[in-house]
Chains A and B, each alone.
Chain A
Amino acid sequence: MSFSPSIFLNLLIAGIFLGGIYSLVSIGLTLIFGTLKLVNFAHGALMMVSMYLTFWLWALLGIDPLISLPISFGLFFSIGYALQKILIMPIIQRPVSAQMLMTLGLLLVIQNAVIMLWSATPRQVVTDFANLIFRYGELYINFPRFAAFVVAMTLSGILHLFLTRTDLGTAIRATAQDSETAKVLGIDVNKVYALSFGLGTACAAVAGNLISTFYPIDPFVGDTFLLMAFIAIVLGSMGNYIGAFIAGLILGVVEIFTAFVLSSLLRQAVPLIIFLLLLLLKPEGLFGGRLRE
């Protein structure tokens, strides 16, 4: 298989667009990890539910995905906030493994409840601009993917400003760094936990909303994104949201090139192998920060 420069560029662009979505999902996961030190297995499932919400809003009420974006954000922020209060808060003192198993249970319940309610048949949101493709010479740019990428980047930027420029954002970062000291400084740590769970979930929900126009919606779609987000947050150093952002982009590119060069069946196997090597050789990730447990 030979690469002409135009094929290379097209693959790179496709990879970066996909990576932008991975970035947003991973930022959400790493925000939760940063403060709660907990890997949320239900992250992908919540994203999947958001895709269904987008689908039903579009199918039943004719609301365009771009318009239902704020609805997804608000609703899933509240859901994440509530989930943390109801499920995680009572076992916050337990070992991390127990909390991870709790979210694993949540994943099973959500995923199968969705299969029961809406079957496993894939669905798709079809909007007017679904097949719009811009062409610049040899370059092809798929508009829905491009729009999703732009929105994902914008939201990541806003999130960065929120975390660095506001009191609440600073409180989140302080708690992530050292929750005991944060408590001493008068930060309501429990509120920060719920807040970051809410924000993290909202990130996943927005990502789900964005891809609903070009990604088939089925109950298992979250699994892939969860897996890639796992890899991205380790690659980007757990809890480091800028690292997760960059790692997400890298993974998107790696995946697209793997699919092209090897086989689309192995598209996620190669990132997984990178992940494994990373866990074994450099578990603290590429961007420094928190060390192993």
Chain B
Amino acid sequence: MRLDIKAYVYILFFTTLFIVPVLTNSHLILNILIMVFFYAYLSLAWNILAGFAGQYSLGHAAYLGIGAYTTALLYVRTGMIPWLGLLVGAALAALFALGISYPTFRFGIKGYYYILTTLAVAEILRRIFLYWDLTGRADGVRYPLKPDSFLLFQFHMDRTPYYYIMLVFLILILFISYIIRNSQFGLHLLAIRDDEDAAQSIRINTLKCKLIAAAISAALTAVAGAFYAQYTLFIEPDTTMSLFISIDILLPSLMGGTGTIAGPLIGSFLLTPLAWIFRIAYGAEVLHMIIRGVALMIIVALIPKGIAGTVIDYYIRPRHIKR
């Protein structure tokens, strides 16, 4: 019964979102909503590795960067259509994540060491991209402007196509998260998160599970990177791969509830517009950053389980126990 109510809420919610562009074509509203979807999507991708498998990463910006650069460079240099570039980028990011994660997980690196490792990897990649001729150094990659086309993933007349594409991506990742969460694989991940030694003792292949989770999470993040490249039509290392991007990726999850599915969605709907309103009102990135910082501190101190996690703890779990 409870599940049905939840499903109705989701359907109602997304139907409303589908209607929004019909009611308004305000650049401002659509842009903000696109960013809300974008960060919710990214945070859900991060959540698969951090929330389900318990491996906190502070380097997801690296996967975002790989997705964005692969798509952009393949299009600019070889003319490969962005949709194919998106897939190549996702595959590359997954491979990259495997390359990084295999030695890391193999040698039992956990906790703060994993955080530092992912942070270092993203930072190295950003510096290499800043130095490499292929990636355009600090100038980044700029797209040649073409007329609106779905195939070329470029729209200039209005934001509606971007809006629907990102919304569909978001719904897809919600489905993927739901499927993973309710599969045996998902249960294995949760077991690893809660107690890795115990999980190993009941013959869960923890290394394999964590690697798969890292690869899925990275590939999905790279897809958002491809979207970002097509959306801004200009990418540079600092706006795609800096530590602050990694923080933006994890904030919605922390706010809404790491490890839940609705959490990152709720978190992004609360945080992203707030940050954007300040950015637009004051025209400065600085206040946006201060808000991120304050939000991070408040969340960590007051609602460690996030909104959804807290709600589940207080209202939903006790009923299950009573039953």
Residue ranges of A at the interface with B (Cβ–Cβ < 8 Å): 39, 87, 90-91, 94-102, 104-113, 115-116, 227, 230, 234, 263, 265-266, 268-269, 272-273, 275-276, 279-281, 283, 292-293
A102, B128: Cα distance in complex, Å: 29
Which residue of A98, A115, A279 is within 8 Å of B120 (Cβ)? Answer: A279
Asked whether any CB of chain A lies closer than 8 Å to the CB of B233, the reply is no
- Write the residues of chain B forming the contact surface with A, with a CB cutoff of 8 angstroms: 56, 103-104, 107-113, 115-117, 120-121, 123-124, 127-128, 130-131, 244, 247, 254, 284, 286-287, 289-290, 292-297, 300-301, 304
A108–B115 contact, CB under 8 A? Answer: no
CB-contact partner of B300 in A105, A109, A230, A280, under 8 A: A105
State whether B104 touches A105 (Cβ < 8 A). Answer: no
Which residue from B111, B117, B287, B300 sits with its C-beta under 8 Å from A279?
B117
Q: Which 5 A-B pairs have the closest CB atoms?
A: A108-B293, A105-B296, A105-B297, A109-B293, A112-B289
The count of A-to-B residue pairs whose CB atoms sit within 8 angstroms is 115
| B101: min CB distance to chain A, Å | 11
Q: Are B286 and A265 in contact (CB under 8 A)?
A: no
Known contacts A110-B293, A266-B131, A269-B131, then 20 further A-B pairs from the complex at CB < 8 Å, ordered by chain A residue: A39-B112, A95-B111, A96-B111, A97-B115, A101-B296, A102-B297, A105-B295, A108-B289, A109-B294, A112-B286, A227-B123, A234-B116, A265-B130, A265-B131, A266-B127, A273-B124, A275-B120, A283-B109, A293-B110, A293-B113
In this complex, the member of A98, A108, A113, A272 whose beta carbon has the largest number of chain B beta carbons within 10 angstroms is A108
Assembly CA distance A139 to B292 (angstroms): 48
* Residues of B with C-beta under 8 A to A293: 110-113
Q: State the Cβ distance, A281 to closest chain B Cβ, in Å.
A: 8
Question: Bound state CA distance, A101 and B112, in angstroms?
Answer: 11
Chain A interface SS verdict (over half): helix
Q: Which residues of B contact A263 (CB under 8 A)?
A: 131
Q: Are B115 and A272 in contact (CB under 8 A)?
A: no
Contacts of B111 in A (CB 8 A): 95-97, 293
**B289, A111: Cβ atoms under 8 Å?**
yes
Chain A residue nearest to B290 (CB atoms) is A112
Pairwise interchain contact A87-B110, C-beta atoms closer than 8 A? no
Are B109 and A108 touching (Cβ within 8 A)?
Answer: no
**What is the minimal beta-carbon distance from A61 to any residue of chain B, in angstroms?**
28
Contact B289 A104 (CB under 8 A): no
Complex contact A91–B109 (CB within 8 A): no
The distance in angstroms between the C-alpha atoms of A102 and B112, with both chains bound, is 13
CA distance A107 to B301 in the complex (A): 16
Task: Name the CB-closest residue of A to B282.
Answer: A116
- Which residues of chain B are near A116, meaning CB under 8 Å? 284, 286-287, 290
A272, B286: Cβ atoms under 8 Å? no
**Chain B residues with CB below 8 A from A273, complex form:** 124
Q: How far, in angstroms, from A116 to B288 measured CA to CA in the complex?
A: 11
Residues of A within 8 Å of B254, CB to CB, are 101
Residue of A nearest to B108 (CB): A292
